[in-house]
């Protein structure tokens, strides 16, 4: 099954809601032979076609479902391919010339056909009367020049001539043309009757015989409205020549299947898509069963700080709520769509999984890629924050990242999550490099960077240790790098990281509450990473006056921890002075957190 087949199945599953907007949706699923377009003017008519009122459509209400032919849905520039009912003002009034002629003749054909509708007849009567410009001017929506044509003004930011007009006909129910299922059905049947005599072929999506569609819908992704997934209209270039003599040899897709698949993809992208850096990411079940959003697949709902056990239990509970609604063999589709040019939409990522595999992979990611944040408990960093802190720039209090970097690297991280791929080494290296220069960032961003980096290091190291692959399911007893301080870990970098944390806290414990300067250990951290033994000697010398300021019990405690760490470091090891590996950050964070937790108890002891 491919993307279009999955989208086609999705439309079939949701076909009962085509044309109707649900409360939680931003946009309705469009019926066959219809598109969604923004309207700027709304005109209300009586069923006899007499003007009643007109108003400007606010931007929050302007999405309108309108009937469209294959040609009108794909029109560009100033061609005369008119929409059958709702269209721009230049198509509805004589000043539009050929555009008006095309619109009026098409509307008349519909109004007099066997598939006519009261709304269509009312609009046709009104348009034929030729009073639309005068009525809109009297309603103070447009201004006419001395020739009686629209001037240079705008309605809701759109030039008069290009304002799309939609219709209400009273007392019909529903009065709005964009909410009328019977009107949708009338046009769909009218348009289907027109291509009954067209040549047919086997549709590669539905498996049924249908008219082959050679011009497919655009607007799947709102950010790149003109971009198409399927296009083969250049018979003189190399779009398909060299392999085939005509486009349909490459792919034959029926009109109905094309309409349904593209409509479903647009509906999914608008209502369920996650946009990272201009690229749209989708995650859904083709049968319409709920699956978690890619934006925040899961976040802990615990109000209090959670330990790893409660974190796991909450994760299983949340994912289980979705999992119980799907059978193990049900499909979950994950896709990414992006427009490389204004006219071409590419599928940059596509993966189909059985729901059992999907939830197993998600659970594995959130179990292995998490960290014990001091104030919030166990947390897993969202995809966007991982990329932002790895490749972004601090602007004020925020971290921002370029769209180009965000979309490419977000897709890489997503692939690690969905496909159980190893974390890219360059991503971990970028985070580690930044975390090793904490003075570049403010305190809040520094802490966020550190926790994200530690989460990624832990996952990278554990995955590498157990040689994880797609079929491997992580187990807690296979974990080499823990979430809490491991005093038995004799890894050189881990031990130096612990030492750095102790040296930092020795100096910080002598500060008063208002003192904001950074300790010597933090100021020398970048040197410490490159030459740990050299830097530790300098910092130790600088700490002598600070040790004297500490309470005796506290001073003894810190010296004892340092002695334990130094004893675990082999003084004869020739590699002691080599630059540290990324695991020093794990040791640093673990030791710092342990010191924080003991601080209050130590203060109580000092007071006694």
| Cβ–Cβ under 8 Å, residues 392 and 399 | yes
Give just the sign of the alpha carbon dihedral 106, 109, 110, 111. positive
Single residue among 153, 172, 194 that ends a domain in this structure? 194
In a domain, 24, yes or no: no
pLDDT at 428: 97
In a domain, 329, yes or no: yes
pLDDT at 247: 67
Terminal Cα distance for the chain, rounded: 71
pLDDT at 607: 46
pLDDT at 173: 84
Reported as a single tens digit per residue, the pLDDT across 123-154 is: 999 999 999 999 999 999 999 998 889 999 99
Do both 462 and 501 map to the same domain? Answer: no
In a domain, 573, yes or no: yes
| Cβ–Cβ under 8 Å, residues 294 and 283 | yes
pLDDT at 471: 46
pLDDT at 464: 84
Q: Residue 492: which domain range?
A: 486-608
Do both 461 and 549 map to the same domain? Answer: no
Single residue among 194, 214, 239 that ends a domain in this structure? 194
In a domain, 141, yes or no: yes
Do both 95 and 35 map to the same domain? Answer: yes
Do both 447 and 428 map to the same domain? Answer: yes
pLDDT at 182: 96
Q: How many domains does the chain have?
A: 4
In a domain, 277, yes or no: no
Where helices occur in 379-442 by DSSP H, the ranges are 383-391, 403-419, 425-435
Do both 372 and 257 map to the same domain? Answer: no
Do both 12 and 35 map to the same domain? Answer: no
In a domain, 44, yes or no: yes
d(CA 126, CA 546): 89
Do both 328 and 188 map to the same domain? Answer: no
pLDDT at 468: 45
pLDDT at 234: 59
Do both 101 and 225 map to the same domain? Answer: no
In a domain, 278, yes or no: no
Do both 490 and 586 map to the same domain? Answer: yes
Do both 173 and 234 map to the same domain? Answer: no
**536 Cβ partners below 8 Å, 6+ apart?**
496, 499, 500, 503, 528
For the chain, give the percent of residues with pLDDT over 70. 91
Do both 247 and 300 map to the same domain? Answer: no
The three-state secondary structure class of 170 is strand
Do both 478 and 511 map to the same domain? Answer: no
In a domain, 22, yes or no: no
Q: Which residues of the chain have pLDDT under 70?
A: 1, 232-244, 247, 296-305, 467-478, 571-574, 599-608
Single residue among 453, 483, 513 that ends a domain in this structure? 483
């Amino acid at each position: 099954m491919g993307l279009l087949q999955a989208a086609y199945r999705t439309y079939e599953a949701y076909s009962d809601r085509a044309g109707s907007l649900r409360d939680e949706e931003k946009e309705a699923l469009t019926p066959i032979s219809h598109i969604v377009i923004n309207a700027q003017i709304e005109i209300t008519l009586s069923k006899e076609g007499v003007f009643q009122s007109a108003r400007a459509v606010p931007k929050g209400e302007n999405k309108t479902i309108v009937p469209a032919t294959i040609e009108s849905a794909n029109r560009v520039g100033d061609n005369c391919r008119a929409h059958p009912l709702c269209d721009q003002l230049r198509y509805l009034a004589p000043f539009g010339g050929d555009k008006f002629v095309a619109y009026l003749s098409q509307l008349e054909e519909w109004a007099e056909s066997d598939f006519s509708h009261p709304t269509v007849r009312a609009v046709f009567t009104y348009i034929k009367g030729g009073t639309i410009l005068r009525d809109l001017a009297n309603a103070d929506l447009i201004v006419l020049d001395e020739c009686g044509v629209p001037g240079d003004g705008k309605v809701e930011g759109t030039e008069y001539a290009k304002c799309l007009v939609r219709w209400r006909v009273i007392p019909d129910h529903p009065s709005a043309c964009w909410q009328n299922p019977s009107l949708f059905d009338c046009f769909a049947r009218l348009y289907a009757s027109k291509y009954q005599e067209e040549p047919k072929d086997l549709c590669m999506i539905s498996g049924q015989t249908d008219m082959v569609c050679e011009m497919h819908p655009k607007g799947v992704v709102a950010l790149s409205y003109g971009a198409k997934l399927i296009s083969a209209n250049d018979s003189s270039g190399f779009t398909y020549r060299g392999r085939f003599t005509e486009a349909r040899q490459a792919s034959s897709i029926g009109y109905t299947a094309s309409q349904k698949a593209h409509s479903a993809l647009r509906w999914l992208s608008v209502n369920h898509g996650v946009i990272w850096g201009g690229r749209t990411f989708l995650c859904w079940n083709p049968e319409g069963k709920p699956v978690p959003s890619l934006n925040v697949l899961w976040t802990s709902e615990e109000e209090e700080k959670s330990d790893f056990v409660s974190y796991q239990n909450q994760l299983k509970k949340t994912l289980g709520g979705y999992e119980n609604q799907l059978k193990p063999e049900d499909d979950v589709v994950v896709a990414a769509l992006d427009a490389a040019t204004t006219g071409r939409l590419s599928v940059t990522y596509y993966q189909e999984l059985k729901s059992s595999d999907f939830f197993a992979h998600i659970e594995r990611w959130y179990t292995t890629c998490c960290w014990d944040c001091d104030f919030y408990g166990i947390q897993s960093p969202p995809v966007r924050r991982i990329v932002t802190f790895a490749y972004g720039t601090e602007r004020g209090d925020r971290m921002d990242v370029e769209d180009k970097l965000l979309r490419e690297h977000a897709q890489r991280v997503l692939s690690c999550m969905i496909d159980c791929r190893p974390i890219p080494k360059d991503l971990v290296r970028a985070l580690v490099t930044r975390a090793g220069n904490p003075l570049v960032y403010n305190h809040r961003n520094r802490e966020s960077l550190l926790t994200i980096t530690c989460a990624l290091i832990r996952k990278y190291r554990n995955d590498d240790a157990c040689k994880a692959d797609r079929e491997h399911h992580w187990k807690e007893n296979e974990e080499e790098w823990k979430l809490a301080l491991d005093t038995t870990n004799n890894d050189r970098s881990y031990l130096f990281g612990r030492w750095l944390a102790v040296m930092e806290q020795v100096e910080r414990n002598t500060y008063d509450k208002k003192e904001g300067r950074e300790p010597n250990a933090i100021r020398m951290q970048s040197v410490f990473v490159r030459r740990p033994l050299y830097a530790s000697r300098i910092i130790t010398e600088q700490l002598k006056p600070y040790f004297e300021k500490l309470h005796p019990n506290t001073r003894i405690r810190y010296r004892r921890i340092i002695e334990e760490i130094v004893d675990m470091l082999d003084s004869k090891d020739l590699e002691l002075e080599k630059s540290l590996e990324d695991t020093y950050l794990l040791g640093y964070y673990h030791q710092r957190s342990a010191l924080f937790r003991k601080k209050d108890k130590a203060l109580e002891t000092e007071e006694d």
